[in-house]
Amino acid sequence: MNVVATIIAMGFFVFGMWLMGTAPELADFQAAVFFGGILSVALAVAIPTTLLGHSES
């Protein structure tokens, strides 16, 4: 489960960075795409901190 959540979080992080990098090239929806990138990166950080928690090893 930890590996799957980590891979999903990394996917959200990379997708969010891509959205933030692509936003300046768009004419109409720059702010919405950039904000979507911020939300995606925030979700990528939230997954390991909330869902995975602390390991008891």
How many domains would you assign to the chain?
1
Taking residues 18-42, report their average pLDDT.
94
On whether residue 22 sits in a domain, the answer given is: yes
On whether residue 13 sits in a domain, the answer given is: yes
On whether residue 3 sits in a domain, the answer given is: yes
On whether residue 12 sits in a domain, the answer given is: yes
Give the model confidence (pLDDT) of 34-50 as tens digits.
999 999 999 999 988 88
What range does the domain containing 2 cover? Answer: 1-28
On whether residue 57 sits in a domain, the answer given is: no
On whether residue 46 sits in a domain, the answer given is: no
State residue 47's pLDDT score. 87
On whether residue 40 sits in a domain, the answer given is: no
**Mind giving me the DSSP string for 8-49?**
HHHHHHHHHHHHHHHGGG-SS-HHHHHHHHHHHHHHHHHIII
